[in-house]
């Protein structure tokens, strides 16, 4: 009987040890699951206010940061942490729980965001919760004033057919709209389909498939010089820095026209509002209803949206060249930048088109891929000795990304390499048939020798010229990290004028323009020379480095698909 208490003591000690050792493990197992991101936790700032993390699209940085600054100055309970991020990253990071809320450039993205969220788990509800809008900007055709006047501006209402007719009648007239992978591009394409179907509401899948509709859109699209994937900020910076114009007209938000005209000292842009109607870039604020969201986030989001839509903040919206979401605030307000002096018309647009359903938008995007102007693209890669090692490895990644991103069913891609000599690695062919061959050739590129840059570019342009395919966008995308030092067909020098003259001679003989997009890769590349080369073909050059080259090639692929 005396031993029983001792046994009990031992049992208690063992049990305690079991609990102390295994309880934390058990708790870890029970709480296992996706780790919440930084926005999931209820974090507070140095004033003890709950922090709401919100991602916003880059083109409205000045406006958004002004509104956030005012909110953080005035609100005692909540603070906003604003994160500027491009649309591709915003959408992927939203699904990972990186933000409590987002403000994309358009609600056009929100249907696909919900779809991707539910694709991960069909039992989930939509990720997009509460929705509010604080700024609007219609999609317009931005044209240089002198070019717009040739189409009848401002007395004539100009439509999509007029734009295509101008480009058809005058081969020197060049216009562009962004790829349908961007909001502005998809909304412009949507407006084209509305115009083609003679409708202003309820665009359907049957409308998209109608032969007359497709014929109209095809005729408009086949006059486009190039597409594009640049953000509005990138477009604005390029316009302000250009030594010569690369385009006569292009699709953009009305706000870009305002911003450019407030900064330029030269000829102004004017906004053309398509007579058949247009759509808004509506800059929504969307709460993300993921498992990371807390009630405190919802309350903070509501206070933010109420604040952004307050009369004082809506006047800041007007000051920054956007239209207020509060329709009670007049565009004649003294703070308004929506005025004819800035190239825009407060009385327009006369017809606002409704956003089609998510399913119709997806069908429209697929139809556009078949109707858009196809491209012949030669990738021209520097494989000289200076590319050896990490540079060439990163360049191969970028080239493979480009090939993977070109999705047009009729687009053709070929590959040329240059070092001391020029070599056609893969002849031009439909990218669908050519993709495996292109990727294998890219992977097999090796670095050695000198830099016959001019011969590489000329060889690609000559092959495109020989095809005489004026119904296509004919493009050379050349990447180099060094300076020309080995060409024999074109005179080798630090001055690219000999190559420019050779390219112009080709075009004079055939009438076929070839666009040369040049990428200065690394600090050794001669960007000034490459810029002159690209501008001579009325496009632009870009700077790249091993850290940014992959994203740059993703951007370049959007110019053609």
Map out the domains of the chain as residue ranges: 50-133+284-321, 137-281+338-369, 374-557
Looking at the domain 374-557, which fold is it?
Answer: Rossmann fold (3.40.50)
The architecture (CATH level 2) of 137-281+338-369 comes to: 3-Layer(aba) Sandwich (3.40)
Enter the pTM of the model. 0.88
pLDDT for residue 2: 40
Domain 50-133+284-321 has CATH 3.40.190.10: yes
pLDDT for residue 524: 87
CA pseudo-torsion sign 148, 149, 152, 155: positive
Which residues, in sequence order, are CB contacts of 379 under 8 Å at separation 6+? 399, 402, 403, 413, 414, 415, 416, 477
* CA–CA separation, 68 and 64 (whole Å): 6
pLDDT for residue 41: 57
- Whose tokens are 């401002």? That residue is 154
Nearest Cα residue to 345 out of 373, 323, 375: 323
pLDDT for residue 146: 97
In this prediction, the residues of the chain whose per-residue pLDDT falls under 70 are: 1-41
pLDDT for residue 407: 80
- In this structure, the number of other CB atoms found within 10 A of the CB of residue 170 comes to 12
Q: Which string of b and e fits 201-227 if b means at least 16 CB within 10 Å?
A: eebeeebbeeeebbebbbbbbbbbbbb
Nearest Cα residue to 185 out of 221, 132, 136: 221
Q: Do domains 137-281+338-369 and 374-557 have the same CATH topology?
A: no
pLDDT for residue 16: 39
pLDDT for residue 438: 97
pLDDT for residue 13: 38
pLDDT for residue 245: 86
Per the CB < 8 A criterion, the answer to whether 252 and 142 are in contact is: yes
pLDDT for residue 330: 92
């Amino acid at each position: 009987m005396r031993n029983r208490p001792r046994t009990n003591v031992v049992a208690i000690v063992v049990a305690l040890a079991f609990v102390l050792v295994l309880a934390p493990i058990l708790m870890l197992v029970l709480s296992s699951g996706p780790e919440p991101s930084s926005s999931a936790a209820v974090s507070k700032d140095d004033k003890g206010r709950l922090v709401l993390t919100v991602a916003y699209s880059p083109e409205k940085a000045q406006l958004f940061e002004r509104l956030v600054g005012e909110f953080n100055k005035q609100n005692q309970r909540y603070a906003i942490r604003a994160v500027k991020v491009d649309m591709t990253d915003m959408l992927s990071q939203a699904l990972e729980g990186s933000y409590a809320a987002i403000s994309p450039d358009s609600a056009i993205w929100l249907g696909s965001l919900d779809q991707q969220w539910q694709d991960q788990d069909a039992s989930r509800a939509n990720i997009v919760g509460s929705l509010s809008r604080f700024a609007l900007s219609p999609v317009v055709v931005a044209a240089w004033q002198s070019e717009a006047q040739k189409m009848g501006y401002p007395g004539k209402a100009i439509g999509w057919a007029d734009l295509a007719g101008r480009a058809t009648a005058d081969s020197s007239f060049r216009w562009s709209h962004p790829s349908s992978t961007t909001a502005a591009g998809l909304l412009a394409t949507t407006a084209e389909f509305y115009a083609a179907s003679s409708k202003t509401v309820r665009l359907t899948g049957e409308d998209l498939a109608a032969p007359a509709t497709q014929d109209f859109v095809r005729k408009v699209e086949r006059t486009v010089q190039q597409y594009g994937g640049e953000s509005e900020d990138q477009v604005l910076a390029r316009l302000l820095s250009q030594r010569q114009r690369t385009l006569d007209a292009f699709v953009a938000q009305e706000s870009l026209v305002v911003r450019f005209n407030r900064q330029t000292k030269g000829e102004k842009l004017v906004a053309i509002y398509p007579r058949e109607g247009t759509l808004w870039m509506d800059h929504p604020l969307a709460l993300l209803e993921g498992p990371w969201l807390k009630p405190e986030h919802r309350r903070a989001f509501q206070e933010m949206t109420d604040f952004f839509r307050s009369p004082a903040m809506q006047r800041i919206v007007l000051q920054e060249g956007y239209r207020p979401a509060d329709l009670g605030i007049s565009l004649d307000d003294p703070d308004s930048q929506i005025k004819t002096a800035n190239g825009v018309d407060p009385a327009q647009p006369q017809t606002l088109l409704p956003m089609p359903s998510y399913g119709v938008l997806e069908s429209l995007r697929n139809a556009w891929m078949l109707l858009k102007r196809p491209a012949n693209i030669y990738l021209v890669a520097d494989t000289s000795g200076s590319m050896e090692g990490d540079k060439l490895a990163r360049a191969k990644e970028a080239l493979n990304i480009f090939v993977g991103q070109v999705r047009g069913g009729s687009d053709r891609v070929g590959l040329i390499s240059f070092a001391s000599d020029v070599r056609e690695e893969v002849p031009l062919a439909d990218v669908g048939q050519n993709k495996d061959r292109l990727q294998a050739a890219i992977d097999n590129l090796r670095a050695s020798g000198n830099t016959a840059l001019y011969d590489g570019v000329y060889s690609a342009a000559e092959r495109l010229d020989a095809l005489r395919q004026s119904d296509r966008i004919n493009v050379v995308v050349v990447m180099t990290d060094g300076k020309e030092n080995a060409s024999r067909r074109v005179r080798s020098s630090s001055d690219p004028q000999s190559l420019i003259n050779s390219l112009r001679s080709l075009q004079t003989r055939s009438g076929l323009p070839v666009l040369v997009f040049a990428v200065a890769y690394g600090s050794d590349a001669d960007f000034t020379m490459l810029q002159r080369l690209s501008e001579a073909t009325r496009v632009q050059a870009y700077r790249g480095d091993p850290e940014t080259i992959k994203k740059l090639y993703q951007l370049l692929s959007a110019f053609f698909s």
